Structures are given as C-alpha cells and as structure tokens.
Amino acid sequence: LVKETEIQYASSGIRYLITNADAVIEPTPYKERRIEFIGDSITCGYGIGGNPGVPFSTEYESADDAYAVLCARELDADYQLVSFSGIGVISRFVEPERDEPLTDVLISSLYSKIDAVLCKRMSLPASRWEFHKFRPQVIVVNLGTNDASYTRGIREREEQFCQKYAEFLRIVHTENPQAEIVCTLGVMDNQLMPEVRRAAKMLTETSFPVLVHEEQKMRPDEPLGCDKHPSAKVHRRMAESLRIFLLKHTVFGRK
C-alpha cells in the first residue's frame, strides 16, 4: 500500500491484519542500501500531476513520482521521507505582504516525532520516533525554498537561517551518526544556497562532514506543475542528477 499524498491533507494507517491461523507474517528484509529524504513540497511531489493553470488538489500530488522516490528506486535503496509542503527551517512559506515568519510547523518540530501533525490535530502527545528502526547510510536534506520567502535577501534573516540550518543538521547527525548527510537546494529557488554551503562548510570543518549538491534551477523551456512547482519531467531530471552525485560522492558508490 502506498499513500501518495502527505500528512497535512489526510491520514491513513493499518489497524490490524486478519490472517489464517497458521499464517506466518514476517517483515520484508531491508535492502543493502537505505536512504532518507528530508524536505518540503518538492519532496512531497506537490503539483507534479498538474500544470500552472490548474488549482492544486491532492489529485495532483504524488511523492511516488517525485525525485526522492525515483532516485531511491534507481539506486535500489529502501527509502524514508520526512516531508511537508510549505515547511522550512525558520519559517514556512509566507506571502509577500507578510513580514513575520510563520513558525507553527517547522522541520525541527516534526523530525524527531511520530506523526506530530496528526497528534496535534487530535490533541494527543506525540511520541518520539525510534531512529534505530531505520538506519539510512545517506540522508538528503532539501530545505530552504520556503525560508527564502521570508528571508528575502535580508542579511539578519539569512544569518538566522544559516545558524538554525546548522543546528538542524546537528540533530540529524546526532540521531543518525552512521549516515552521510547531503544538502541540496535550488530547483525552484536558490537564494539561500550560499547559506546552505556556509553551514555545511562550518560543520565539515568543526564537527562532521556535510556534502552539498546544488540542483539546477528549472529552465524556462521545462514544463511546470501546479503553483510553479516541478513537473514530472523536472523531477526525473532531478532524480538522475542526484543519483549520479550520490554514486560519485557517498558510500553508495564505494560498495
């Protein structure tokens, strides 16, 4: 079973399985390669099935067709997604007329919890995610597109983003000390790419290595999805570019 849309639009789960009395149920063994993606609407596949003239609905969202899952499939890797449309490090997406950050749901509040959004919706305490259950060798972080709607080239805000971005990467590393971290950004907006590089350089020099893969920005001749998001064609291009990078620079290419 695959739920193609994200948690903020609907929730689903399995309550129980009914089997024959003599049935044996065993978990599928993990593949040799395991990868985790942390991101926003791009990772969710927001608008991938639509076009700029179509209002977004969940009909046009499919994480299963987005770059992250495509890349994992090409690498023959088990994958895990932690993604939420509009999310950021210091602010969710904000409209141009708003000058304050939107901080009700940020990646730091979701990452270490089990279904934090659903728990908030149902007024339930969120349990801590059990990181030992899925140990990726590589973690790809694709954040900063929505933060740029708030930072807007203002230096103080960019400094805040860099600091909080580095803090979040430290959390990711603490919870997954075995994983190589790859930061990527740029297909929709690359304003904060210098800050991503700065945070990665600082951590590499002082704490643990962080790799950076800059995505090629969408070209004028490439088709768009809903709300100027990447189309299926762009996602395929992103997946291939990332696959090549991971095979060249991470453990996936050393085995």
Give the chain's domains with CATH numbers.
33-253 (3.40.50.1110)
Give the amino acid at 226: C
| Residues in a beta bridge with 212 | 183
Q: What angle, 0 to 180 degrees and rounded to 10, lies between the N-to-C axes of helices 155-175 and 193-206?
A: 50
The C-alpha atoms of residue 179 and residue 175 are separated, in whole angstroms, by 9
Q: Which pair of tokens denotes residue 243?
A: 């696959």
pLDDT in tens, 91-114: 999 999 999 999 999 999 999 998
pTM of the shown model: 0.95
Quick one: pLDDT band at residue 254, thresholds 50, 70, 90?
A: confident
> If you ran DSSP here, which 8-state letter would residue 126 be given?
P
Share of the chain above pLDDT 90, in %: 86
The C-alpha atoms of residue 45 and residue 185 are separated, in whole angstroms, by 15
Among the ranges given (4-8, 48-52, 174-178, 188-192), the one the predictor scored with the smallest mean pLDDT: 4-8
The C-alpha atoms of residue 122 and residue 115 are separated, in whole angstroms, by 11
Q: H-type helices in 98-210, by residue range?
A: 107-110, 116-121, 148-151, 155-175, 193-206
**Has residue 255 got a pLDDT over 90?**
no
The C-alpha atoms of residue 193 and residue 43 are separated, in whole angstroms, by 17
CB 77 within 8 A of CB 179: no
Residue in this structure with the two tokens 């893969």, named with its chain if needed: 213
CB 52 within 8 A of CB 228: yes
**Has residue 68 got a pLDDT over 80?**
yes
